[in-house]
Chain A
Amino acid sequence: MAKVTIDGESIEVPDGTTILQAARMIGGDNVPPAMCYHSKLKTSGGYCRTCIVKVSKGSEKDPRPMPKLVPSCRTTVMDGMEVQNNTSAEVLEARRGVVEFLLINHPLDCPVCDQAGECHLQDLGYENGAAKTRYDFPRRKFNMIDIGPNIKMHMTRCIMCFRCVKTADQITDNRVHGMLFRGDASEISTYIEKAIINDFSGNMIDVCPVGALTDKTFRFKSRVWFTKPMDAHRDCKKCSGKVALWEKGNEVLRVTSRKDKWGESEEWICNECRFDKKDIKDWVIEGPRHIDRHSVISLNHYENVVAKLKIDIAKQQKQIVDKK
């Protein structure tokens, strides 16, 4: 076990735990944001640099600070380690820099993007971004390529997190897409237009932190915040059959994996469950799904709205009392 302190809060964690995992165990507001790390994908993380933190004390044995900011998702804790996230101005500034880099070539087409409302980049920009861009060059464009009947790809929105590549590598048996070219010309592609057809390929949609990979069967049907997430399951031979249904009225608009509070899939689901079972009768409904994210969905979520109303009413009542 190793004791690690993050922004003043301590926790004992098993050896081999990363700083990010430890921060998630502590919970609260001091968890570094992560775009490319995904808890269910091996070797993920380290690329986007949003989760960088400052290690102000290396360990009990070797208390020297680490010379550079480190990606918390790929740095394992040492006993006695002290980490600064939100308490370090250096970290916050570097993170603002990373967010700016991620956004300079992003099309900012949220108004027409199906990911809006559950987009990690939106959240990240909201919390760490600047109101105005300093980038005044034309933004990067790519030729649209068709990657098959189920998944729509918008390369301009991609932040190159490698999650979809790792998903294809680790949960499907034949990866046909990958990271091609290099530098800022890198793109996710199949090179020769090739349909990504695989029983589990749809999971790439769920792992995509932005709107680069979206569900064609859900395309332009509804804003996510107008849909109602429900936990549901069915008997499935290929996967666990445990999913989240996104309903509007009695219509199932979309099926996704169930995601944890960090927006990362809990279990992979098969394409049949995801794309073909859009009838409410296909499913056993377990109940409303709690979305524990600070994204737009939750901002206007009824739970929050009710809570906010309660506060507002209390305030007004107090004002009335005070006036009297």
Chain B
Amino acid sequence: MSKEIKFNEETIALVNKIIKRYPEGKQKSALLPVLHIAQAEFDGWLSPETMEYVASLLRIKPVEVFEVASFYSMYNLKPVGKCILEVCRTSSCWSRGSEDIIKHLEKKLGIKVGETSKDGMFTIKSVECLGSCGGAPMLQCGASFHENLTLDKLDNIVENYRVEGKRKSYTDQDFKNTL
């Protein structure tokens, strides 16, 4: 049984703070930030129920949320692993060996790009340029950028995440205090 789709009071206060940035009646502007919060809060993905909940919070039609959530690549519309290893594969990362990084990860975790490991810990994703070409090859996990990857470094990163065992979100690092 999944937990109830509802923000706690603290998060509601945060959502209201975000809405206040925009002029009266323009609360839809808060959609992207609120979807990030919702995704972080509800198991790393946006279920139809979560999206309907966000729609009700912002007083917009559910389809407006579906339209937006399905447009942006950072929102997951299906369940994902706790750590999504997003490996950049565009030009500079490719020319500095991102294909080897992906192959190594696939072998190490026994899954293909787009799949989630059986223990639900890792999902491998290949992504387009993350603006870290100077640190190529690189991967992102949650809010963290891991740059200048080597296969050894990669092994360490994966092991550290495994030991930590926590879900990683883009919104990590004292999200609530700084927004």
Contact = CB atoms under 8 A, between A and B. Distances in A.
B21 interface: no
A176 B70 contact: no
Interface residues of B, number: 10
A174 B61 CA distance: 8
A191 B61 contact: no
A180 B61 contact: no
Given A178-B64, A180-B71, 8 more contacts: A175-B61, A175-B63, A176-B62, A177-B63, A180-B66, A181-B71, A191-B66, A192-B66
Contacts of A190: 63
A178 B64 CA distance: 8
Given A191-B48, A192-B48, A179 B61 contact: no
A182 interface: yes
Contact of A178 (B48, B51, B67): B67
B71 A176 contact: no
The secondary-structure label for the interface of chain B is helix
A70 B43 CA distance: 46
Given A191-B48, A192-B48, A178 B71 contact: no
A191 B63 CA distance: 8
Interface string A166-209: 00000000111111111000000111100000000000000000
Contacts of A189: 66
Nearest to A174: B61
A190 B62 CA distance: 9
14 contacts: A174-B61, A175-B63, A176-B61, A177-B63, A178-B64, A180-B66, A180-B67, A180-B70, A180-B71, A191-B48, A191-B51, A191-B63, A191-B66, A192-B66
Given A191-B48, A191-B66, A192-B48, A182 B61 contact: no
A182 B63 contact: no
B48 A182 contact: no
Nearest to B52: A192
A271 to B, nearest CB: 20
Contacts of A181: 70-71
A204 to B, nearest CB: 14
Interface size class of A (residues with CB under 8 A): 10 to 19
Interface in B54-112: 61-64, 66-67, 70-71
B74 to A, nearest CB: 13
A29 to B, nearest CB: 39
A268 B52 CA distance: 30
Contacts of A178: 63-64, 66-67
Most buried by B among A174, A178, A179, A190: A178
A145 to B, nearest CB: 13
A93 to B, nearest CB: 31
Across the A-B interface, the 9 shortest Cβ-Cβ residue pairs: A191-B66, A180-B70, A178-B67, A178-B63, A181-B70, A192-B48, A182-B71, A176-B63, A180-B66
Nearest to B72: A182
A227 to B, nearest CB: 34
Contacts of A176: 61-63
Contacts of B61: 174-176
Contacts of A179: 67
Nearest to A192: B48
A180 B63 CA distance: 9
A178 B70 CA distance: 11
A180 B71 CA distance: 7
A214 B70 CA distance: 25
A189 B64 CA distance: 12
B66 to A, nearest CB: 4
Contacts of B71: 180-182
